[in-house]
């Protein structure tokens, strides 16, 4: 389940060092090498799955459970004021490492905005069309 040339597989195997803040049989949680805020961490499953599409459902459930646990511990220890959990799938969505991971990003009162996008302004008809496309 390890893929050659995958940087996160190498971190999991110990070939590349990382600052590990939690580890169990299924996951490693490490500090991001280029943190958006103090404590920015990544939940990484030990098995290689490229993204959420490939992730088995039971691993997804465990990842969310771990995210909730880590968010609580990190909030208590870092005294952050809020928290983002981000997960990118595909290059267009900002994914740069193609081994599934979830970003745990503690947010602080005076930190800089890290998530900004320009809102679309769809008409009611376009909204309805989108609703139909997804549900029918
Ligand atoms: P993505 O853009 O794929 O959602 O996130 C990849 C994240 O992995 C980035 O935030 C990046 O800083 C982090 N990253 C890339 N290479 C390494 C590494 O070698 N060690 C650690 N700790 N983080 C890494
Ligand atoms: Zn990998």
Is 121 catalytic? The answer is no
What pLDDT, on the 0 to 100 scale, is given for residue 135?
A: 98
What pLDDT, on the 0 to 100 scale, is given for residue 20?
A: 98
User: Which of the listed CATH numbers 3.40.720.10, 3.40.109.10, 3.30.428.10, 3.40.50.620 matches domain 7-135?
Assistant: 3.30.428.10
Q: Which of 40, 48, 99, 101 is catalytic?
A: 101
User: For the chain, first and last CA: distance in Å?
Assistant: 36
Helix (H, G, I), strand (E, B) or coil at 129: helix
What pLDDT, on the 0 to 100 scale, is given for residue 115?
A: 82
What pLDDT, on the 0 to 100 scale, is given for residue 2?
A: 83
The one-digit pLDDT tens for each residue of the chain (136 residues) are 788 899 999 999 999 999 999 999 999 999 999 999 999 999 999 999 999 999 999 999 999 999 999 999 999 999 999 999 999 999 999 999 999 999 999 999 999 888 888 999 999 999 999 999 999 9
DSSP label of 62: H
The domains of the chain are located at 7-135
Distance (Å) from CA 83 to ligand 1 centroid: 18
What pLDDT, on the 0 to 100 scale, is given for residue 136?
A: 95
Beta carbons of 76 and 101 less than 8 angstroms apart: no
Distance (Å) from CA 111 to ligand 2 centroid: 31
């Amino acid at each position: 389940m390890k893929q050659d040339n995958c940087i996160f597989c190498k971190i999991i195997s110990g070939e590349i060092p990382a600052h590990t803040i939690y580890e169990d049989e299924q996951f490693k949680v490490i500090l991001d090498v280029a943190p958006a805020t103090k404590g920015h961490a990544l939940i990484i499953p030990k098995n290689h799955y490229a993204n959420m599409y490939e992730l088995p459902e039971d691993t997804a459930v465990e990842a969310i459970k771990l995210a909730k646990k880590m968010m609580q511990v990190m909030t208590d220890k870092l005294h952050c004021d809020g928290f983002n959990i981000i997960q990118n799938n595909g290059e267009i969505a900002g994914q740069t490492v193609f081994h599934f991971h979830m970003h745990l990003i503690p947010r602080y009162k005076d930190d800089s905005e890290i998530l900004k996008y320009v809102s679309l302004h769809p008409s009611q008809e376009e909204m309805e069309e989108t609703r139909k496309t997804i549900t029918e």
